[in-house]
Amino acid sequence: MSRYVDLMLFDFDGTLADTGGDLARSVNYTLRMMELPEIAPDVILTFVGDGVGKLIERALGGAGDEQRKNEALEIFSRHYEKHLLDSTVLYPGVLETLNHFRGKRKIILTNKRLCFTEKICDGLQILDYFIDIIAGDSTPFIKPAPQLLDVIRKHHYLRRDQTVIIGDGVNDLRLAKNTGILCACHLNGLGNRDDLQALQPDMTFGHFAELKDLLA
């Protein structure tokens, strides 16, 4: 039985777009420039989800003070901005699903920086599907902070029982549990599916087309 929703909140990395390859290459470019050993891409992907600052901090490990972290962040940001569409693509079924839910209000809610998110959305030609993008540097809060729902409510009508967050990470699921909204977890994104299922989401899907049966 499908669940009726009026507002759809979409995570970005690992949910709408497979950004992992470009993120990993920019991280390893940064490490090379910092004269540090590179990290396997699948390990780097476990660092994704809490914003670019945490991504770089985790990649550096204990290698450096705050000044060194800022230097690494600057190197990463310059490189990623130039290469964020090298291999990034939409997940299968995303366009079909966005068109299916054309009549629903849709917002991107991501811990990624706004400039990166907008540039990728523009390149993948999906900007027009969304009424808003709330990014990691758009507000003082990032997922899973429950205050994000108050931020959204200031600009958009929201009923918790008719709002769903669609994401591939534990932060998306924890935001749902922290606020009482629904959660649909993408099990084939960048996040760990075992971690997601252990938190008992309302719905799970492996292919975006399945959302057409899960939500109404």
* Strands of 45-181, DSSP E: 89-90, 105-109, 132-134, 163-167
Fold classification of 7-19+89-214 is Rossmann fold (3.40.50)
Going by C-alpha positions, the residue among 57, 53, 52, 13 that lies closest to residue 31 is 57
Residues 20-83, CATH architecture: Orthogonal Bundle (1.10)
pLDDT tens digit string along 7-65?
Answer: 999 999 999 999 999 999 999 999 999 999 999 999 999 999 999 999 999 999 876 68
Q: Rounded distance, CA 155 to CA 138, Å?
A: 13
Residue range(s) occupied by CATH 3.40.50.1000 in the chain = 7-19+89-214
- What local confidence, expressed as pLDDT, does residue 63 receive? 66
Q: Rounded distance, CA 213 to CA 216, Å?
A: 7
122 is annotated as an active-site residue: no
* DSSP designation for 91: P
Mean pLDDT computed over 113-132 = 98
Q: Which of 11, 13, 18, 22 is catalytic?
A: 11
- Predicted TM-score of the model (pTM): 0.94
Residue range(s) occupied by CATH 1.10.150 in the chain = 20-83
Sign, Cα dihedral of 102, 107, 111, 117: positive
